[in-house]
Chains A and B, each alone.
Chain A
Amino acid sequence: MMADTGSEEIAVIGNTDLTPSELENNIKNTMVEKGATLLKRMEINVAEAEKRTGKNAVSMQETYTVYLIETRAVDPSSEGANPAPPDSLWRRYSEFELLRNYLLVTYSFVVVPPLPEKRAEFVWHKLSADNMDPDFVERRRVGLENFLLRVASHPVLSNDKIFYSFLTQEQGWKEVVFETGFQAKSDSRLKALNATFRVKNPDKRFAEMKHYGDELQSVISQLLRVRARVADRLYGVYKVHGNYGRVFSEWSAIEREMGDGLQSAGHHMDAYAASVDDILEEEEHYADQLKEYLFYTEALRAVCRKHELCQFELEMAAQDLTSKKQQREELATGTVRTFSLKGMTSKLFGQETPEQREAKIKTLESQIEEGEEMVKDKNAESEEFVKNAWVDIERFREQKDRDLKEALISYAIMQISMCKKGIQVWSNAKECFSKM
């Protein structure tokens, strides 16, 4: 599975009574103990997909697909003995989406792994874009399993309770999620992410990272487009070889001595033409790996955006504080530094009484106190966010390099096997020709 390539980080699941520092320690231990036996290890896989029909929210009949999630706790001491049967439950795609949204909101500093695409895109002509197509469903099943494994191997996400119950609690999981109240946060998050605002002092690293994410997205889109064209053309090349088969066969009918040689060469061509379907099935895997990273760029962008939001809120709070301090100063010293309507009206209509002024100053001072708290909090929040986000972004980058390199290697391997097949077919044909 993709998520396991090169990474031995499988989380400790289930023990949520630890304090944050102990938790962190545990995670550190997990990461240190790569390859070694872990305390608790869980096998996860999405075993099957099934079609169901049922009534939806508006009481209409609909057909949807459910996926079987199997989990099994692996006890290292019992290795070698027969493994216990796995626990299992069925989930549909929308539940996966719900889980992911929850994670996005709750861990906004994490580049959250993406789900496989909802609708087939970047297809080359032979593949269908139909969601109910068995090949598509199968590839989606693989994608969902990959998602779960990525989350389960993430140092932060894997410890989440909601995630654990997604895997183990069939009934009532949805309610548990909504009870966390994440929905409200989700809505405001969406709003904030889509809003336009200008940050005065953006963190350079995040600005660069956002730019990098945009570039990565554009490059991967290009790659996917080109790959689809390659698949199309290769398919054509193979099938045209089938034409050789037919013409050799027709021609052998009018020849005497050359007939046999031509006929057998023709058969080799036919076999070659037929072999393309399997090859291109396999090649879809490369496209799926690319697509995962295409969707990852959105998650990366979201983290950068969240940082901007934090920064913006911090700047707003600081600005607010400054202006309040200024107002206090003006009231205290009686000097009007900045033009304000209040200032003008008080000049025109007479100044306030000292009591009024005192009251105002008192209000301002409590506001300033609050404001200073706010700025301190926001600052801390922002620093915390930056620290955690940067850790995760580094982790993500290393994972991306590893995975994309692997993807290219397996694409090269596939190309190699295609070349070898080509050599074999033409060597066979050559032998037939030399006997003519």
Chain B
Amino acid sequence: MSYAGTPKSLPSSGQKPIQEMCHPLSAEEPVLPSSPDGGSNTKDLSLPNGNTVDTSSPASSSSLLNRLQLDDDLDGETRDLFVTVDDPKKHVSTMETYITYRVSTKTTRTEFDLPEYSVRRRYQDFDWLRNKLEDSQPTHLIPPLPEKFVMKGVVDRFSEEFVETRRKALDKFLKRVADHPVLSFNDHFNAFLSAKDLNKRQGLALLSKMGESVKYVTGGYKLRARPVEFAAMGDYLDVFTQKLGTIDRIAQRIIKEQSVVLLLLLCILSWQSCVLVRGCPSCCSFHTTQLPTPLTFDLHVASLCLQNVLKKRDQVQAEYEAKLEAVAFREDKKTPVPTDVEKCQDRVECFNADLKADWDRWQNNKRQDFRQLLTGMADKNIQYYEKCLAAWESLIPLLQDKQEAKVETN
């Protein structure tokens, strides 16, 4: 197990930057500029306001890890967990037919008993994993899965193209989880990669304290104000999701119109064959290469997740502020600040830090994803036009050829 041990200073998470923090899991003795305890307890960290941060809870440790790991994610050399999804196979049973995928893992992490694993999983299993991750790591942004439901009449669930698209998306999902410094250590993830059979009904024991206490509630809390950066995040996400929706609608409209045009063109060709004595070859190679699936699904889901996480964060902050008010109300009694208020504040800090780190990670991934998505869209359109072009071009010499005896009309 090795991590880049250099502590890094992070942008604001909370009120002031936390400087010169040492990695709690680092083997080295940290050198701290000042510590209220002055001790060598590497797990004691100070917040700017002088209070110590309890780093013994998994939540706060993980959040620190998360913040430090941000830059390391991009450095491939430190990766010690490799996951691949491939080899889709159809399973036919009396009850149902479904596809399973091979999930292969290679790792040097000690959290795993073996260095290599190969298991078969189906979509349901991925969905289970994602739900578990969301429940157990509520302050983090969990990567999205490909669409769950497909309209049975419209899309063929077992077609090569559909299965391949899904496989790629599932592969991306696992890779993103594997690359996440906190999520990749999640026990459910471990089980997913290694267990022969996933016993999905049995909830695994390790749920963080955070997970149990933070539940999303619609309304019912008052927030004084979102910190500036989170407000900016929220605004961006609003516009972003809106634009995605528009792009999807435009793409769908174009696909629909183009398929109508194609049908009409085929009509024209078959009618023309009626008026020409020698008939006219109709080009049946016209067909659309575009699938009627929403283009920006992944990004849509990710955007919605982020908005969800933002809301959760707001809720935690609201709780904290409510507690603060309650305390202020009792100020005159001159009691010391109760620990649960401190704990609340701690949670807000951690949440903010996690969210900030995940946001940056997401922005990076988003740019890659979009570049891929948009160039893919461009490619599909180019393919479509090239196919039409070839079909029309093949028609012309057939019409111009005066030697044709009989041309078959399709």
Chain A interfacial positions (CB closer than 8 Å to B): 215-216, 219-220, 222-223, 226-227, 229-230, 233-234, 236-237, 240-241, 243-244, 247, 250-251, 254, 257-258, 265, 293, 397, 400-401, 404-405, 408-409, 411-413, 415-416, 419-420, 422-423, 426-427, 429-430, 433-434, 436
* Chain A residue contacts of B261, Cβ below 8 A: 230, 233-234, 237
* Chain B residue contacts of A408, Cβ below 8 A: 272, 276, 280, 399
- Tell me the chain B residues, 243-298 only, with Cβ under 8 Å from chain A: 243, 246-247, 250, 253-254, 257-258, 260-261, 264-265, 267-268, 271-272, 274-278, 280
How far, in whole Å, are A434 and B370 apart by their CA atoms in the complex?
10
* Chain A residue contacts of B371, Cβ below 8 A: 433-434, 436
How far, in whole Å, are A400 and B264 apart by their CA atoms in the complex?
23
- CB closest chain-A residue, reference B389: A419
Say yes or no: A415 contacts B271, CB within 8 Å: no
Say yes or no: A419 contacts B388, CB within 8 Å: yes
* Chain B residue contacts of A411, Cβ below 8 A: 268
Nearest CB of B to A431, in Å: 9
User: Known contacts A404-B276, A405-B399: does B268 contact A226 (CB below 8 Å)?
Assistant: yes
Say yes or no: A404 contacts B275, CB within 8 Å: yes
* Chain B residue contacts of A436, Cβ below 8 A: 367, 370-371, 374
* Chain B residue contacts of A433, Cβ below 8 A: 370-371, 374-375, 378
Nearest CB of A to B213, in Å: 34
Say yes or no: B257 contacts A240, CB within 8 Å: yes
Nearest CB of A to B376, in Å: 9
* Chain B residue contacts of A234, Cβ below 8 A: 261
The majority secondary structure among interface residues of chain B is helix
Could you list 19 A-B pairs, sorted by A, with CB under 8 Å? A223-B272, A229-B264, A234-B261, A240-B253, A240-B257, A244-B250, A254-B239, A400-B275, A401-B277, A401-B278, A405-B399, A416-B389, A419-B385, A419-B388, A419-B389, A422-B381, A423-B386, A430-B374, A430-B375
Closest 7 CB pairs of A and B: A430-B378, A419-B389, A422-B385, A433-B374, A251-B243, A426-B381, A230-B264
* Chain B residue contacts of A397, Cβ below 8 A: 277
Say yes or no: A254 contacts B396, CB within 8 Å: no
- Tell me the chain B residues, 366-410 only, with Cβ under 8 Å from chain A: 367, 370-371, 374-375, 378-379, 381-382, 384-386, 388-389, 392-393, 395-396, 399-400
Say yes or no: A430 contacts B271, CB within 8 Å: no
How far, in whole Å, are A405 and B275 apart by their CA atoms in the complex?
9
Nearest CB of A to B357, in Å: 18
B240 sits at the interface (CB 8 A)? yes
- CB closest chain-B residue, reference A218: B274
Say yes or no: B271 contacts A258, CB within 8 Å: no
- CB closest chain-A residue, reference B246: A247
Supplied contacts A412-B395, A422-B385, A429-B374, 18 more A-B pairs, CB within 8 Å = A219-B271, A226-B267, A226-B268, A230-B265, A233-B257, A234-B261, A240-B257, A251-B239, A254-B240, A258-B370, A265-B374, A293-B275, A401-B278, A415-B265, A415-B388, A430-B374, A433-B374, A433-B375
Chain B interfacial positions (CB closer than 8 Å to A): 236, 239-240, 243, 246-247, 250, 253-254, 257-258, 260-261, 264-265, 267-268, 271-272, 274-278, 280, 367, 370-371, 374-375, 378-379, 381-382, 384-386, 388-389, 392-393, 395-396, 399-400
User: Known contacts A409-B400, A419-B388: does B243 contact A223 (CB below 8 Å)?
Assistant: no
* Chain B residue contacts of A434, Cβ below 8 A: 371, 375
Say yes or no: A426 contacts B247, CB within 8 Å: no
Most chain B CB atoms below 10 A, which of A233, A254, A397, A436: A233
* Chain B residue contacts of A400, Cβ below 8 A: 275
The majority secondary structure among interface residues of chain A is helix
* Chain B residue contacts of A227, Cβ below 8 A: 268
* Chain B residue contacts of A293, Cβ below 8 A: 275
Of B250, B367, B384, B388, the contact of A258 (CB 8 Å cutoff): B367
Say yes or no: B378 contacts A223, CB within 8 Å: no
Say yes or no: B276 contacts A226, CB within 8 Å: no
How far, in whole Å, are A357 and B268 apart by their CA atoms in the complex?
72
Of A216, A236, A257, A423, the contact of B389 (CB 8 Å cutoff): A423
How far, in whole Å, are A258 and B240 apart by their CA atoms in the complex?
12
How far, in whole Å, are A247 and B244 apart by their CA atoms in the complex?
9
User: Known contacts A240-B257, A247-B250, A408-B272: does B378 contact A426 (CB below 8 Å)?
Assistant: yes
Say yes or no: B268 contacts A427, CB within 8 Å: no
- CB closest chain-A residue, reference B249: A243
Nearest CB of B to A2, in Å: 16
Nearest CB of B to A255, in Å: 9
How far, in whole Å, are A408 and B283 apart by their CA atoms in the complex?
13
Nearest CB of A to B259, in Å: 10
Say yes or no: B379 contacts A413, CB within 8 Å: no
How far, in whole Å, are A219 and B276 apart by their CA atoms in the complex?
11
* Chain A residue contacts of B253, Cβ below 8 A: 240
Say yes or no: A416 contacts B370, CB within 8 Å: no
* Chain A residue contacts of B388, Cβ below 8 A: 415, 419
- CB closest chain-A residue, reference B380: A426
- CB closest chain-B residue, reference A265: B374
- CB closest chain-A residue, reference B272: A408
- CB closest chain-B residue, reference A429: B378
Say yes or no: B386 contacts A247, CB within 8 Å: no
* Chain A residue contacts of B239, Cβ below 8 A: 251, 254
Of A229, A409, A412, A426, the contact of B385 (CB 8 Å cutoff): A426
* Chain A residue contacts of B265, Cβ below 8 A: 230, 415
* Chain A residue contacts of B385, Cβ below 8 A: 419-420, 422-423, 426
* Chain A residue contacts of B264, Cβ below 8 A: 226, 229-230, 233
Nearest CB of B to A294, in Å: 11
Say yes or no: B396 contacts A413, CB within 8 Å: yes
